């Protein structure tokens, strides 16, 4: 890499909440070496109380957009909720469209300021429409090399009301220098994206953090149960993911009644927040299992809950492995998951759990019981995953391709400008 200065990377993302894309951005920034890579972050939507990673990035001087007043933050959250609401009235649709256009306009101003003041060598777009179009603007008008992280499977995009993204990839991929994907390379190839532009990125975890928490496993095992008011001998089945139908929490909930007959001390603990909370709470009451359901919201430090759990429920109905399930694997938890047909599936490869028919609560319950009745509670099964993660999941190795691409594109741009 040129020693004159580090490669400057401008990241464009919808927001800084607690999702997988946001966490990937944070990991890239956190693991960047200042002498090699200098980062800057611009968001499309206003900074609200849901911006999990905003303060961490501000502390590094990488994210500088101001917080919105409380009233505007509340308005922002309510209008963003309209963007994914089914059967909107024309008035609400118009309001949501105006809000999105207004946010994109303000973000364009922030983008222009960053392009002129920060003078990035590479633009990296994350998530969906707003960042992608802003990145294309930087590419077409300013000639900046553009890389894009594909946020999800195409089926997930459609479910999240971003169904036009694959069409945009098909029509505009010639403007993108590289695509990063942890989902499906085959989906991009099917759109005509050249294989030379696609870089598959495995998920990863910080094995140093995992090891530190594992060393205190007995403490976390007891402390989490104490904090939840559970007996010391309680079984904990853990799920991690926003409270949304695509995460399959309802199917996990419906597996509980049959399981509690066999394991009366079983408790389902869910880390995540979302619009489905009310439905899940009502269903838990209807099924008579409310005392065994703990929806404790988003947790900035989730690893102690993995350390306290006995089994991990991987119930998304579209994807297979994701960042949360990788943490479960690395922590050595046995995993029960739905067979989604995804190419990222690892359970059958590692042998660290059981795969069952998608959206089948009865099959899920049977698989959970078959692990919990093992003489060691499934610890040997889970250890297969922990060993695999030690060989393949190191976040520092997983993120290195990002920095290699930044370097190659940034240096190419420098040579072009030097003439």
**Quick one: pLDDT at residue 2?**
46
The pLDDT tens digits for 34-63 are 999 999 999 988 776 668 888 899 999 999
Same domain, 337 and 302: yes
**Quick one: pLDDT at residue 183?**
80
The pLDDT tens digits for 327-377 are 999 999 999 999 999 888 999 999 999 999 999 999 999 999 999 999 999
**Quick one: pLDDT at residue 5?**
86
Find all residues with CB under 8 Å of 306, minimum gap 6, and list them: 213, 238, 312, 327, 328, 331, 333
Cα 69 to Cα 73, 76, 83, 99, 272, distances in angstroms: 6, 10, 21, 16, 25
Nearest to 125 by CA among 212, 41, 222: 41
Average pLDDT on 199-218 reads: 93
- Beta-strand ranges (E) seen in 162-292 are 178-181, 198-200, 235-240, 266-271
Same domain, 283 and 248: yes
Return the structure tokens found at 159.
Answer: 């479910």
Same domain, 280 and 352: yes
Same domain, 261 and 325: yes
Same domain, 211 and 199: no
Same domain, 38 and 119: yes
Same domain, 52 and 179: yes
Q: Where are the alpha helices (DSSP H) in 276-378?
A: 277-287, 303-308, 323-330, 347-350, 361-372
**Quick one: pLDDT at residue 1?**
45
Sign for the pseudo-dihedral over CA of 252, 258, 261, 262: negative
Average pLDDT on 218-226 reads: 97
Same domain, 318 and 360: yes
For residues 320 and 329, give the distance between their C-alpha atoms in angstroms, rounded to a whole number.
Answer: 13
CATH code for position 236: 3.40.50.2000
Which helix H or strand E contains 106, and what residues bound it?
Answer: helix 90-117
Same domain, 160 and 239: no
The pLDDT tens digits for 116-146 are 999 999 999 999 999 999 999 999 999 999 9
Q: 331, 210 in Cβ contact below 8 A?
A: yes
Same domain, 223 and 368: yes
What is the three-class DSSP state of 375?
coil
End-to-end CA distance of the chain: 18
Domain count across the chain: 2
The pLDDT tens digits for 235-245 are 999 999 999 99
DSSP states along 378-395: THHHHHHHHHHHHHH-BH
Find all residues with CB under 8 Å of 129, minimum gap 6, and list them: 162, 164, 165, 168
Average pLDDT on 297-325 reads: 94
User: What is the extent of the structural domain holding 272?
Assistant: 207-392
Please check whether residue 1 lies inside any domain of the structure. no
The pLDDT tens digits for 137-188 are 999 999 999 999 999 999 999 998 899 999 999 999 999 999 999 888 999 9
């Amino acid at each position: 890499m040129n020693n004159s200065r580090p490669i400057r990377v401008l990241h464009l993302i919808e927001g800084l909440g607690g999702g997988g894309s946001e966490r990937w951005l944070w990991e890239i920034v956190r693991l960047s070496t200042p002498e090699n890579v200098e980062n800057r972050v611009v968001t499309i939507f206003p900074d609200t109380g849901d911006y999990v990673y905003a303060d961490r990035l501000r502390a590094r001087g990488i994210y500088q957009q101001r917080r919105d007043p409380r009233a505007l933050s509340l308005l922002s959250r309510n209008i963003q909720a309209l963007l994914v609401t089914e059967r909107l009235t024309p008035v609400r649709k118009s309001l949501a469209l105006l809000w999105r256009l207004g946010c994109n306009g303000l973000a364009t101003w922030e983008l222009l300021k960053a392009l002129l003041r920060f003078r990035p060598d590479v633009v990296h777009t994350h998530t969906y429409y707003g960042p992608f179009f802003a990145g294309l603007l930087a590419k077409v008008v300013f000639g900046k090399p553009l890389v894009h992280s594909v946020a999800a499977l195409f089926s997930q995009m459609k479910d999240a009301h971003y169904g036009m993204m694959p069409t945009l990839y098909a029509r505009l991929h010639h403007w993108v220098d590289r695509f990063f994907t942890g989902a499906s390379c085959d989906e991009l190839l099917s759109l005509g994206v050249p294989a030379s532009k696609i870089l598959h990125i495995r998920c990863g975890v910080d094995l140093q953090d995992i090891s530190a928490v594992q060393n205190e496993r007995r403490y976390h095992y007891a402390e989490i149960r104490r904090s939840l008011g559970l007996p010391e001998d309680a079984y904990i089945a853990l799920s991690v993911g926003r409270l949304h139908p695509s995460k399959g929490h309802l199917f996990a909930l419906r597996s509980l009644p049959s399981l509690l007959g066999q394991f009366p001390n079983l408790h389902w603990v869910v880390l995540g927040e979302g619009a489905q909370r009310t439905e899940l709470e009502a269903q838990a009451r209807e099924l008579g299992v409310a005392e065994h359901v703990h929806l404790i919201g988003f947790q900035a430090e989730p690893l102690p809950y993995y350390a306290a759990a006995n089994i991990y429920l991987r119930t998304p109905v579209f994807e297979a492995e994701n960042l949360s399930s990788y943490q479960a694997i690395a922590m050595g938890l046995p995993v029960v998951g739905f067979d989604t047909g995804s190419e990222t599936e690892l359970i059958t490869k590692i042998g660290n759990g059981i795969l069952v028919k998608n959206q089948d609560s009865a099959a899920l319950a049977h698989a959970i019981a078959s692990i919990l009745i093992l003489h060691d509670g499934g610890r040997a099964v889970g250890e297969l995953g922990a060993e695999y993660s030690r060989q393949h999941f190191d976040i520092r190795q997983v993120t290195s391709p990002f920095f290699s691409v930044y370097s190659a594109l940034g240096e190419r741009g420098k040579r072009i400008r030097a003439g």
